[in-house]
Chains A and B, each alone.
Chain A
Amino acid sequence: MNGFKIIVLAKQVPDTRNVGKDAMKADGTVNRGALPAIFNPEDLNALEIALRIKDRYPGTTVTVLSMGPGRAAEIIREALYRGADHGVLLTDRKFAGSDTLATSYALSMAIRKMSPYHLIVAGRQAIDGDTAQVGPQVAEKLGLPQVTYAEEVLSVDEQSITIKRRLERGVEVVKAPLPTVITVHSSAPDCRPRNAKYLMKFKHARTITELQDSSEDYIELYKDRPYLDIKEWSVADVEADSDWLGLSGSPTKVKKIENVVFTAKESKILNDSNDDISGLMKELINNHTLG
């Protein structure tokens, strides 16, 4: 076995888990621009699953594929620092406004361009939407089986992979033929940290756009070190049909967005004094709220 070719799907997301005071506008709505952009957490679990296969089978290569704006190259570099080998950024204005179906179509076209491959590994869902749809939709578009909610790869050989899945109230072990699409649950092991050696190696990894925008001259450096090239692919590069992309190519439309506004109800304010709490407990017992 000369190792596996693994593609990891990763997304840069706004950190919606930590909407702090800085991210709130005066009218109480969220200033999305103020949220830090992070590596989607479950995509890091997915990367770790891929890297563990690489640890076990020398010759394995891990390529990170991300779709997003130019700055999403940041998470590709992050993946390289942790042990991925290559990165591809799928970026084009025509992708803007894509729903999950249009996104999975675009990703599937990029994956086709990367074939042959053995495994596609993605996080179960991204925290900005929590939909968990893109993994299964990519699998369907490629005509591949899918194993969702994966927690651990138990074994893998040239023909098949055996995976432990996390269900609502238990676990299941399934065997799938290769190639297959795996989506990884947050109960899988955390991703390893950056490796100092890889950090040095990939510190100057850039997309072509980043190179052009940079004031520094890396041309000579790149001639000697082709691995520093983060590939940048457009709609045309992956031969995708624009009719299936972006806002117009998305079956779902957003009809309305409402910012969450609290309607306050009258609340009795108590403090933690003995009198207040004793009074409350008496009241709840007397009105039979408590048995």
Chain B
Amino acid sequence: MNNVFVYCEIDEGQIADVSLELLTKGRSLANTLGCKLEAVVLGHALKGIEKEIAPYGVDVIHVADDQRLFPYLTLPHSSILVQLFQEEKPQIALFGASVIGRDLAPRVSSALKSGLTADCTSLIIGDHYDKKTDTNYENLLYQIRPAFGGNIIATIINPDHRPQLATVREGVMKKEIYDPAYKTKVRTLDPKNYLSETDFAVSIIERHIEDRKINIKNGQIIIAGGYGVGSKENFRLLFDLAEVIGAEVGGSRAAVDAGFVEHERQIGQTGITVRPKLYIACGISGQIQHRAGMDQSAQIISINTDINAPINRIADYTIVGDVADVIPKMIQYYKENSK
């Protein structure tokens, strides 16, 4: 009772990275609260799955293994979670802010009439005093996220309802093994006790999932372009530089929206979070939503025609100039000076 729960997503037969990241966060929240960390895994052919999860410091793993639970469908997964949460009464439940998590968590939140905060960038435990009712709340989950187009940072709480529900995007939290030999308890759920025929009203007819071909999350050097790059053609320059120095290419939301670069490369609060050793921001103004996805980069170079662009304030180097002039020179001088 009153533990921290993480819903674990299955991706290509393994626990998704975002879920492992949440387990790491969940472990630290559970340590602060002095409670247990529990994981929920719903899918098919899950034998041995606990070995993947336990090292993250998971005390209890709830597993429902049934061929109808994979691929993911909204209704069966939400029916199991809602009933399980009613039985186990978690104080906190975390979901990845993925297509699955963003489909599932609101449904669960509505059924349990408890609040949900989407796309949190930070989760911490804190107290709250409500003046109106003169009530002191201890150990609430502060759900912190940028809001209003990233122009404000909001701290959201859920004082009177449980579980406190939050989603977090992949890459926002760090995944870290807690103890390779951590002792866990596996609890097998019998799907029959949780599901009815009406949960299978929606059926999957076809599914095409591509392998991850773009993997910028773990890139050591990232060159990212914004709206200021100006065109899809100019974006080619970023790829040229990337090839020469061995980097990945990303884009801001504005660049993705403008069609300069694929959605899979979007960096920021509603995209991927990266922590490279070098981040080269090309024509990116640097709204907080973008910075939320890259401000932990070890070094930042900003190339921008506007010396007052907000991104320059977190940059180690600011090159005042046009991307189309600067990048070819970077390529040239890298080639001349390397080796």
Contact status A257-B153, CB under 8 Å: yes
Taking CB atoms, residues of chain A closer than 8 Å to B221 are: 289-290
Q: Which residue of A lies closest to B71 (CB)?
A: A172
Contact status B334-A149, CB under 8 Å: no
From the candidates B99, B211, B312, B321, name the one contacting A271 in the complex (CB within 8 A): B321
Taking CB atoms, residues of chain A closer than 8 Å to B156 are: 252-255
Task: Give per-residue flags for A152-176: 1 if the beta carbon is below 8 A from chain B beta carbons, else 0.
Answer: 0000000000100001111111111
* Chain B, range 9-34, C-beta contacts under 8 Å to A: none
Task: Give per-residue flags for B233-247: 1 if the beta carbon is below 8 A from chain A beta carbons, else 0.
Answer: 000000000000110
From the candidates B116, B147, B314, B334, name the one contacting A285 in the complex (CB within 8 A): B334
Tell me, in angstroms, the Cα distance from A127 to B269 when the chains sit together: 13
Min CB–CB distance B323 → chain A (angstroms): 10
Contact status A99-B115, CB under 8 Å: yes
A190 at the interface (CB under 8 A from B): no
Contact status A148-B152, CB under 8 Å: no
Taking CB atoms, residues of chain A closer than 8 Å to B277 are: 289
Tell me, in angstroms, the Cα distance from A172 to B202 when the chains sit together: 12
From the candidates B110, B204, B336, name the one contacting A136 in the complex (CB within 8 A): B110
From the candidates B159, B206, B315, name the one contacting A172 in the complex (CB within 8 A): B206
Q: Which residue of B lies closest to A139 (CB)?
A: B107
Taking CB atoms, residues of chain A closer than 8 Å to B110 are: 101, 104, 136-137, 140-141
Taking CB atoms, residues of chain B closer than 8 Å to A281 are: 330, 333-334, 337
Min CB–CB distance B57 → chain A (angstroms): 27
Contact status A269-B316, CB under 8 Å: no
A60 at the interface (CB under 8 A from B): no
Tell me, in angstroms, the Cα distance from A265 to B196 when the chains sit together: 58
Tell me, in angstroms, the Cα distance from A140 to B116 when the chains sit together: 14
Min CB–CB distance B236 → chain A (angstroms): 19
From the candidates A255, A257, A259, A277, name the one contacting B333 in the complex (CB within 8 A): A277
Task: Give per-residue flags for A112-133: 1 if the beta carbon is below 8 A from chain B beta carbons, else 0.
Answer: 0000000000000001111111
From the candidates B106, B119, B278, B336, name the one contacting A289 in the complex (CB within 8 A): B278
Tell me, in angstroms, the Cα distance from A32 to B151 when the chains sit together: 10
Taking CB atoms, residues of chain A closer than 8 Å to B102 are: 132-133, 148
9 contacts between A and B (CB under 8 A): A14-B149, A130-B118, A133-B102, A136-B106, A140-B106, A140-B110, A256-B154, A272-B329, A285-B337
Given A145-B74, A180-B202, A281-B334; 20 other pairs, CB 8 A cutoff: A17-B149, A127-B149, A128-B149, A131-B116, A132-B102, A134-B106, A140-B106, A141-B110, A146-B74, A149-B103, A162-B205, A171-B207, A175-B203, A252-B117, A252-B143, A260-B146, A268-B317, A271-B320, A274-B329, A291-B245
Which residues of B does A touch, CB under 8 Å? 71, 74-75, 78, 98-99, 102-107, 109-111, 113-119, 128, 142-143, 146-161, 201-212, 221, 245-246, 254, 257, 264, 269-270, 277-278, 287-288, 299, 301-302, 307, 310, 312-322, 325-326, 329-330, 333-334, 336-338
In order of increasing CB-CB distance, the 8 nearest A-B pairs are A16-B149, A272-B321, A251-B115, A252-B115, A140-B110, A133-B106, A170-B209, A136-B106
